[in-house]
Structure 1
Amino acid sequence: MDVRKDVARHFAQAALGHVAREYPHKLDHVMDSDADVLSPRMLHPCFFGSFDWHSCVHGWWTLLTLRRLRPDMPEAERIEALAENTFTDDKLAVELAYARRPASRGFERPYGWAWLLYLHREATRHQERAWASRLTPLARHFAESFKTYLAALTYPIRTGTHYNSAFALTLALEWANIHDAALAELIRDTAKRWFAEDRDCQAWEPGGDEFLSPALGEALLMKRVLPEAEFADWFAGFLPRIDRDEPAALFTPATVSDRSDGKIAHLDGLNLSRAWAWRELGRDDAAQRHLDAALPHVTGDYMGEHWLASFALLALLDRPQG
């Protein structure tokens, strides 16, 4: 699916408006002493914007992706200039040092880790710039963190928020397929260990503040890790009544009652992430229904505007990217 130029500009303008906006900000920060009481910009000189670290990371993924897709749009030069000022060796060294702190073991795990790998994957497509090489040490750190984490995590986390295991592994796998064969194999083995026996999913969703579909997120991951015939058999057992549009909850866009509430606004993201999954799972009708419900609300209130364009872009792009 092509991202129209007007849509690309709209998303780019939104992301440019928040990746370098420091406040308001919600930190994921463990403090060991008074010396750790620092501003977002001091702690994270690259990813201090967008309300929180992970949203800033995927805001940058949005910007670099749009620069590649629409290099002729006026915002492309602004993206390039800001990226040159942001992705410097000195600033990324601070980000890496923070991630290596003993107190940062659970920092942004696993959602932020996965998006950082995804950002690095996109940066490699901009070969005329040094962004990818500068981001590589941070990406490698989180790749190794994933290996340690997956070795220790006995059970998957199925909630439809930042802790969701399937979503993080879907993004991380796309990076690992290119950059880390051992991590890619571990992700595939882990996904099969966790999900291969799942049958007759009831899809009790959405939860009141979810932005990911536990059911469709799992199905999307399994589509990435299983051969086509095996996935068809697994999917038929996982959602056996899909030909009757059941469970009905998966086909019905979520209602968002208050977009100024950051948690309730998550439900616009749920509609977009479902659209992404439905497209790859071959149900364009369901995908379009969810897109229609959410696309008009990507911007408007900062509680959604600081992150929703990334999920809209996931839903609009042809998948998976090479």
Structure 2
Amino acid sequence: MALTEDRAARFATIALGHVTREYPHALTHVLDGPGDVQTPRSLHPIFYGSFDWHSCVHATWMLARLLHLYPAMPPAAGIRALFDAQITANAVAAECAYLLRPAARGFERPYGWAWFLKLAEAMRQFPDQPWSGTLAPLTAVFVGRFIDFLPKATYPVRVGTHTNTAFALALAHDHADDDLRALFRRTAERWYGADAGCQAWEPAGDEFLSPALIEAECMRRLLPADRFLPWFDRFLPDIAQRRPAALFVPASVSDRSDGKIAHLDGLNLSRAWCWRSLAQALPADDARRPVMLQAAAVHLEAGLPHVAGDYMGEHWLASFAVLALDA
């Protein structure tokens, strides 16, 4: 399964249909007074669509990534027009102003922070466009948030939802400079370096990330290969025997109109992403590689048919499909 131009165009068309769709909207917003009761678009003039702020950010990342890969695909003109209209200096200033409110200190921590830096990294691929430079003040805010927060984060968060810290480090690593990557590496080693014999008590009923696999993917990205491979051998020592068994069985989704249950389609896609990426980190003759790639294929087959259909999944699942197919 590959990220073909036809598939990219389909995903882009889905995203263009919801990145400026303001309602329904799940607003994460602390009210300090009656004057703070505002619409999503008033609060977030760039990222007001896609049901919630972080989904709008990663849908925008997906559009940028697909535009870079397939600049001549049919939706490309619509993507460029969207970026020109949405990414303006005034809109960025408003998004920054929102984040400077004391009540917004923890806004979208760490999931939205990481996705925004992933978007900032993608925008660098268009040096002939103003988008990256225009977003730079907002990028600086989120870099600063990581720098301030990580030394105070005594413990990792291992759940398979938005607060997962391994996912945040893995994703934001792509944007980071050397100093920030060093901070990420020290933090990951502090949080996860001694982990071994993972039992993978998953999935939970609303997870879209595998706590086990995303931790491994985080360490793959942050550690040099000669340190990652021994850690991986200790962390998941029985992959060749397809254990822990839970990691090899796609999640079953009973109701795709339920936003929490629909998260499990994302779990299947994000597991596929992790299995593919982790397999590529192993030597070519490693017996675990075909086992892992087969697991990736099974999870992709379970998740890909459901990226559209009900808005509870449609507003975000294509982004995770792109992560998996582009791994």
Matched, 1:267 2:276: no
CA–CA distance in structure 2, aligned partners of residues 310 and 256 of structure 1: 18
CA–CA distance in structure 1, aligned partners of residues 258 and 309 of structure 2: 13
Partner of 2:223: 226
Partner of 2:154: 154
1:285 aligns with one of 273, 286, 294: 294
CA–CA distance in structure 2, aligned partners of residues 64 and 225 of structure 1: 24
**TM-score of the aligned structures, taking structure 1 as reference length:** 0.96
5 Å matches for 1:172-321? 172-176=172-176, 180-282=177-279, 283-318=292-327
Partner of 1:45: 45
Does the aligned pair in 1 maintain the 2:113–2:142 contact within 8 Å? yes
Letter of the 1:261 partner, please give it: D
* Equivalent position SS for 1:155: coil
Runs of 4+ residues over 6 Å off in structure 1: none
% identical equivalent positions = 58
Report the CA distance between 1:2 and its aligned residue.
4.5
Any idea what the Cα deviations from partners look like across 1:65-98, whole Å, max 9, x if unmatched?
Answer: 1111111111000000011000000011100110
5 Å matches for 1:35-184? 35-176=35-176, 180-184=177-181
Letter of the 2:123 partner, please give it: A
CA–CA distance in structure 2, aligned partners of residues 289 and 224 of structure 1: 24
CA–CA distance in structure 1, aligned partners of residues 76 and 294 of structure 2: 32
CA–CA distance in structure 1, aligned partners of residues 41 and 32 of structure 2: 19
Report the CA distance between 1:181 and its aligned residue.
2.2
* Equivalent position SS for 2:68: helix
CA–CA distance in structure 2, aligned partners of residues 236 and 252 of structure 1: 21
* Equivalent position SS for 1:68: helix
Letter of the 1:211 partner, please give it: F
* Equivalent position SS for 2:163: coil
Letter of the 1:157 partner, please give it: V
CA–CA distance in structure 2, aligned partners of residues 181 and 5 of structure 1: 33
Structure 2: gaps (5+ residues): 280-291
CA–CA distance in structure 2, aligned partners of residues 219 and 187 of structure 1: 14
* Equivalent position SS for 1:203: coil
Letter of the 1:35 partner, please give it: G
CA–CA distance in structure 2, aligned partners of residues 311 and 295 of structure 1: 10
Does the aligned pair in 1 maintain the 2:181–2:222 contact within 8 Å? no
CA–CA distance in structure 2, aligned partners of residues 117 and 264 of structure 1: 27
Structure 1: gaps (5+ residues): none
CA–CA distance in structure 2, aligned partners of residues 68 and 86 of structure 1: 18
How big is the alpha-carbon RMSD for the aligned residues of Structure 1 and Structure 2? 0.9
CA–CA distance in structure 2, aligned partners of residues 227 and 116 of structure 1: 25
CA–CA distance in structure 2, aligned partners of residues 56 and 155 of structure 1: 28
Does the aligned pair in 1 maintain the 2:208–2:270 contact within 8 Å? yes
